[in-house]
Amino acid sequence: MVDKLARIVTEELNVWYGAHQALKSISLKVEANEILGIIGPANSGKSTFLQVLNRLIDLKPQTRVSGRILIDNQEIFGANIDVEALRRKIGMIFALPIPLPMSIFDNIAYGPRRNGIKKKSMLEEIVEESLKAAYLWDEVKDRLSDSGLNLSGGQQQRLCIARTLALKPEVILFDEPCSGLDPVSTGKVEEAMLELKKNYTLVLVTNNTKQASRVADRTAFFLMGELIEINNTQEMFTVPRDKRTEDYISGRFG
């Protein structure tokens, strides 16, 4: 089998919060245009893993990171890395939808504006494109100047996706994006993810093993900071190699 282009490679990645080790020598690859699902019980290090990838972990006090993370062959903890450019390249969707307290338009134009795009026509174009890609355009096109806070939960989450798409990222990280949503909204977000895969590489952290089995191409199982198993989703859910994976996906703990 020919190795696909690996977008993200982590080698022996360790993360400590103070004395507590949250990730223990994680080595894995995320391939281009796949959805990598990451499952595992609470506090298994899944969200930490996402936060290292776009260096949001820098915000947390007293953290220490060792090992290497290569994104398109560039070491992201290396010297002279433009963290802001990195975060534009690796977008992030949070567990709870957090619209900034401003209009729908301004929410989506936020990233491009900070990157120096000032022209109104250009911003309008980006906003429309992003909203369409997140399946929100039809619902909000007549009220772009409304506050983003006035949208429903599902709409807010799609707004957040659109906001990330406006950065024209290459990788999108989803941190339990449906944990606060009802089944219908969850379905819409999942649909959007499957569509996004055509143009982006996605990493999806989820508490919901069923969700991983529905959308992920490959799935990784994290437990207490360790990577227990990574495999094709179908294989992992039918014939898990590790006993602990089997226990987890069959709901025996977690």
94 binds another protein (CB under 8 A): yes
101 binds another protein (CB under 8 A): yes
Residues 6+ apart with CB under 8 A from 243: none
100 binds another protein (CB under 8 A): yes
Give me the amino acid identity at 134: A
CA angle in degrees (0–180, nearest 5) for 39-41-44: 85
CA distance 189 to 184: 9
User: Which tokens go with 7?
Assistant: 């977008």
232 binds another protein (CB under 8 A): no
84 binds another protein (CB under 8 A): yes
The nearest distance, CB 36 to another protein, in angstroms, is: 19
| List 10, 44, 47, 54, residue binding another protein (CB under 8 A) | 54
Using DSSP, state whether 142 is helix, strand or coil: coil
Per-residue x/- marks for another protein, 110-149, CB under 8 A? Answer: xx--xxx--------------------------------x
Sheet containing strand 201-205, edge to edge, reads: 90-93, 171-175, 201-205, 35-39, 218-223, 226-232
User: Which tokens go with 146?
Assistant: 């409304």
Residue (49 or 248) nearer to another protein, CB: 49
- Asked whether 109 and 166 are in contact (CB, 8 A), the reply is yes
Residue (28 or 81) nearer to another protein, CB: 81
Q: Which of residues 160-179 bind another protein (CB under 8 A)?
A: 160, 163-164, 167
User: Which tokens go with 53?
Assistant: 């990838």
Q: Which of residues 202-231 bind another protein (CB under 8 A)?
A: none
Per-residue x/- marks for another protein, 60-79, CB under 8 A? Answer: -x---------xx-x-x---
| List 9, 98, 117, 224, residue binding another protein (CB under 8 A) | 98
- Scanning 10-18, 95-103, 189-197, 238-246 for contacts with another protein by CB under 8 A, the matching segment is 95-103
CA distance 183 to 153: 12
183 binds another protein (CB under 8 A): no
Residue (136 or 227) nearer to another protein, CB: 136
Single out the residue of 68, 71, 74 nearest to residue 26, CA to CA: 68
Judging by DSSP bridges, how do beta strands 6-17 and 35-39 pair with one another? unpaired
Using DSSP, state whether 71 is helix, strand or coil: strand
> Residues interacting with another protein, by CB under 8 A?
54, 56, 59, 61, 71-72, 74, 76, 80-82, 84-89, 91-92, 94, 96, 98, 100-101, 110-111, 114-116, 149, 160, 163-164, 167
